[in-house]
Amino acid sequence: MNVLYVLHETLSMAGSAKSFKIMMRGLMQHGISPIVVMPDNKGIYDELSDWGIRTIVIPYRYNTYPWVHSAKDVLLFFPRLIARRIVNGLAVKKIVRDLKDYDVQLVHTNVSVCGIGYAVSRKLGVPHIYHIREYADKDHGLCFFPTKDSFLCQLMSPNSYNICITKDIQRYFQQAGRSVSRVIYNGIHPSMDAFPQNTKERFFLYAGRVVAIKGVLELVKAYNIYNKRIDNAMPLYIIGEKSDANYYNNLVSYIQKHHLEACVKILGQKDDIQDYMRRAWAIVIPSPCEGFGRCMPEAMFCGCLAIGHNTGGTMEQMDNGRELAGGEIALRYETEAQLADLLYNVSNRPFDDYLPYLQRAFTTVNQLYTSESYVNNVFQFYTQILSHSLVKQ
């Protein structure tokens, strides 16, 4: 089965890239022959090349409107928008030309905000899958071009299919109940035989990009409330890429203003993040609207207690666990004050009090979010699409 995959970026530590790599490894073992289109030869490019995957590198942009953060952005808005349309149109033509001697049977776009894969599939006359990993607008502030309705029309068009990474995203894009849509949760880790046993250290952990959509500043504000209430507060380690300089500077300014330098440590990107998860007293997932949020199940596979913002994909994961395991798998909060209370309570109670949470969490992720389940579900969907066994709704 020859499948063309379209990536929107090559950042190797992004959740979409991690999920894509797990999917690729598994699908190749099922006999999939992939070609991957990417906008540059950075990040995961070398890794995919080492796997022997054929790649097409060509510049293209999101199928969204340009950012507007300054007066300069306002002045350049329409030139940038026109440039995007031209660059994307040229990319589609080149990809189709490069594939003229290659029997592509299916096009799979790794996110919703990249439209060139859909355009290529129309040119080739083959089915297309949007892998919808984000809300786009309410989590990333991105607006589909020309409208969100135009994207919904693509989802409703003939020979168009989609994979949604949560039930809530599927509902958000009006795909619930349609046979051409599947909810397939991300694969995080191969299934494990035993619950991990770790020696815990007294620190809280945040792991993810240091950007506004991840809620890092809100976490630090809650930590400041907690820090004022307790002697010998457990430190907070922030691990992740600093991909927004202005946001990072505001975060550092807040830490300095409230004299938190000794207890809030920004460690940057780390390759051994799972080691931190195994040792952490608890990890905090503060995103105000997470599409899925790989970080929480990653931590649960490592036997780490999770404190999660009760919204979006984080809430859905916690709800799944409560239904499957018969009890809460993480500590939930909705406000900064509630998060501060949870930090205080976790600091003051014996860690063994939370072992039932960890055990239920491990049971949940080891059933719902394994790499084997993820890959098998995607491959089964491919097979159904190409065998024309789906009745469209």
* Confidence class for position 391, pLDDT limits 50, 70, 90: low
* Confidence class for position 229, pLDDT limits 50, 70, 90: very high
Res. 345: pLDDT tops 70:
yes
Say how far apart CA 181 and CA 87 lie, in whole Å.
30
- For residue 100, what pLDDT is reported? 86
Judge whether 290 and 314 are in contact, CB under 8 Å.
Answer: yes
Same domain? For 273 and 172 the reply is no
Stretch 36-61: mean pLDDT: 95
**Cα Rg, the chain, nearest whole Å:** 22
Res. 213: pLDDT tops 70:
yes
Residue type, position 324, single letter: L
Res. 61: pLDDT tops 90:
yes
Which letter does DSSP use for residue 158 in this model?
T
Please count the residues of the chain.
393
Residue 198 lies in a domain: no
Give the range of the structural domain holding residue 257, as residue numbers without chain letter. Answer: 204-368
- For residue 12, what pLDDT is reported? 81
* Confidence class for position 142, pLDDT limits 50, 70, 90: very high
Say how far apart CA 383 and CA 389 lie, in whole Å.
9
Same domain? For 54 and 116 the reply is yes
First to last CA, the chain: 26
Say how far apart CA 80 and CA 65 lie, in whole Å.
9
Residue 91 lies in a domain: yes
Residue 304 lies in a domain: yes
Handedness of CA 293, 294, 300, 306 (dihedral sign): negative
- For residue 29, what pLDDT is reported? 95
Long-range CB contact pairs, 193-200, < 8 A, 24+: 195/303, 195/358, 195/359, 195/362, 196/278, 196/301, 196/302, 196/303, 196/362, 197/303, 198/278, 198/279, 198/302, 198/303, 199/279, 200/279, 200/280, 200/281, 200/351
Say how far apart CA 318 and CA 392 lie, in whole Å.
31
Same domain? For 260 and 165 the reply is no
122-131, 242-251, 258-267: range with lowest mean pLDDT: 242-251
- For residue 392, what pLDDT is reported? 54
Same domain? For 51 and 164 the reply is yes
Which letter does DSSP use for residue 64 in this model?
B
Residue type, position 130, single letter: Y
Same domain? For 57 and 179 the reply is yes
- Non-local (6+) Cβ contacts of 153 within 8 A are none
Same domain? For 245 and 309 the reply is yes
- Non-local (6+) Cβ contacts of 308 within 8 A are 284, 285, 296, 314, 315, 317, 318, 330, 331, 332, 333
Residue 193 lies in a domain: no
- Cα angle: 154, vertex 156, 159; to 5 degrees: 80
Helix, strand, coil distribution of the chain in percent, nearest 5: 45, 15, 40
Residue 294 lies in a domain: yes
What is the β-pairing status of strands 128-132 and 2-6?
Answer: unpaired
Same domain? For 89 and 128 the reply is yes
* Confidence class for position 72, pLDDT limits 50, 70, 90: very high
Long-range CB contact pairs, 101-106, < 8 A, 24+: 102/2, 102/35, 103/2, 104/2, 104/3, 104/4, 104/35, 105/1, 105/2, 105/3, 105/386, 106/1, 106/2, 106/3, 106/4, 106/382, 106/385, 106/386
Q: The domain spanning residue 181 has which CATH number?
A: 3.40.50.2000
**Percent of the chain residues past pLDDT 90, beyond the cut:** 87
Residue 150 lies in a domain: yes
Residue 196 lies in a domain: no
Handedness of CA 385, 388, 390, 393 (dihedral sign): positive
Domain count of the fold of the chain:
2
Residue 293 lies in a domain: yes
The model's pLDDT over 100-125, given as tens digits with 9 standing for 90+, comes to 888 999 999 999 999 999 999 999 99
Res. 139: pLDDT tops 90:
no
Same domain? For 85 and 220 the reply is no
Say how far apart CA 61 and CA 59 lie, in whole Å.
7
Say how far apart CA 142 and CA 139 lie, in whole Å.
8
Same domain? For 219 and 339 the reply is yes
Sheet bearing 181-183, strands edge to edge? 54-57, 33-38, 2-6, 106-109, 128-132, 160-164, 181-183
The model's pLDDT over 6-40, given as tens digits with 9 standing for 90+, comes to 999 998 878 889 999 999 999 999 999 999 999 99
Same domain? For 54 and 127 the reply is yes
Same domain? For 375 and 350 the reply is no
Alpha-carbon distance values, 197 to 38, 202, 203, 349 (Å): 40, 16, 17, 19
* Confidence class for position 155, pLDDT limits 50, 70, 90: very high
Question: Which 3 state secondary structure label does DSSP give 202?
Answer: coil
Question: Cis bond leading into 190, ω under 30°?
Answer: no
Res. 389: pLDDT tops 80:
no
The model's pLDDT over 273-313, given as tens digits with 9 standing for 90+, comes to 999 999 999 999 999 988 898 999 999 999 999 999 999 99
Same domain? For 55 and 179 the reply is yes
